[in-house]
Chains A and B, each alone.
Chain A
């Protein structure tokens, strides 16, 4: 799973689109502050 951090919402959205389009990685996310994920 890929998470886009260190970016403003517009920049993160553009990177998510690029990752899906160019790399084929599925569903990159931009986590909100406080979100917890399982490793």
Chain B
């Protein structure tokens, strides 16, 4: 019977002799948890950690300092092999949001996507943690449809850059206002103060980012066209934005070597796309494919969502009020705009109904649909549906975001601000409707997204909240109380409608 020694090939004495011959024996006896950490790079793909450490950026006595010392003793004759390109999952792993994928090769680091966590409180708490990768070490950030406030230069595809301007401009003010409302509540003795004090762990309440942060982040965005290479500083890293799916801004950063020059598909690439787009694409064997699994166990409901939207539009028009659709996703916003465009062309919707997707009435571009038609599938691009939508969007921009609306928005903001000072805080459980300021019965809110977490998030609580009772209906039976984060929801007077037609539902698993 053969006896296998621990390392099969060589025993300890033979390995020691080999280490002495190679000049690595002194490293292996260094007092460290694992001598392998003394010769490896500090970060994935970072082959120059020793040089960076020698500039005095490592703490004395740290593992990095020992590594620098070892390398000095090694001298220049010993070559530290470069790390192979790696991809590290720093977010959107086991959850939907917070996508961050670190691509590292030849000492260059690119961050694919830089999304924020959303949903449950424990996920949102991660947004307050230090970034998982030092932004200053990144050559570039390559976002899809979201942006971030990292100090690294952000190379964004044209449509994504437009979307970042739209989203950050629309959300920076509510973020500050929300925190201000919480601060006012925690300092006052209003009836909402207890709720507001529980809504945040910070004393005083702080916004996740400020207007200055948003402006600074927008200043770092550099629009990149399709197929335009992102200069990362490493010759073998070739990151380009390529059409990889139907999602706005879906990209395919890739790493290519000189041997791959001229190849339409690099030999090594990492792509993020959806399932159907992945099936249609032809991938090489070495491709690492990242597939979105958000809807892995959900199906879209049968039927048409158009009647629900039309009903909501007609109601808002009849009451001469607002129709607000928190779409939560750019792709879903596209669907709604397409639907509205079709209805408008068929004159199914009244002219007076207005549609706003920005909570503060931002005079923004109506998304990438009109400005970046190159994103769309060629057959879809040529369809009359898109042409119709573009025409509608152009008119929508002129009619709905005109000066009159801006003036009305200023008055509304002033009223809302006074009311919030009087009451002390935003209604905690209906923060969505409060943030978009729809205090009257004329306003209709149409929820079109799938609310993944039934408890612990504000979306389902706001969608299910019963309308506030008027004085004349005081003798009616009390409506069921809904809860958000364990706190009772304060009813609002807005009318809420929900449509499941725009989002796949887990209850319809096949």
Contacts and interface: CB of A to CB of B under 8 A. Distances in A.
Nearest to A9: B94
Nearest to A33: B93
B87 interface: yes
B293 A11 contact: yes
Given A15-B293, A19-B291, A39-B105, A6 B96 contact: yes
Interface in A1-23: 1-16, 18-19, 23
Interface residues of B, number: 40
Binding site secondary structure of chain A: mixed
B91 A33 contact: yes
Contacts of A34: 88-90, 93
A16 to B, nearest CB: 8
A14 to B, nearest CB: 4
Given A9-B94, A30-B93, A1 B293 contact: no
B452 interface: yes
A11 B289 contact: no
Given A15-B275, A37-B288, A4 B293 contact: yes
Interface residues of A, number: 30
Contact of A11 (B88, B103, B288, B295): B295
A32 B268 contact: no
B84 A11 contact: no
A1 B269 CA distance: 11
Contact of B290 (A3, A13, A38): A3
A6 B292 contact: yes
B44 A36 contact: yes
B296 A39 contact: no
B260 to A, nearest CB: 13
A3 B283 CA distance: 14
Contacts of B255: 39
B87 A32 contact: no
A8 B298 contact: no
A39 B87 contact: yes
Interface of A: 1-16, 18-19, 23, 28, 30-39
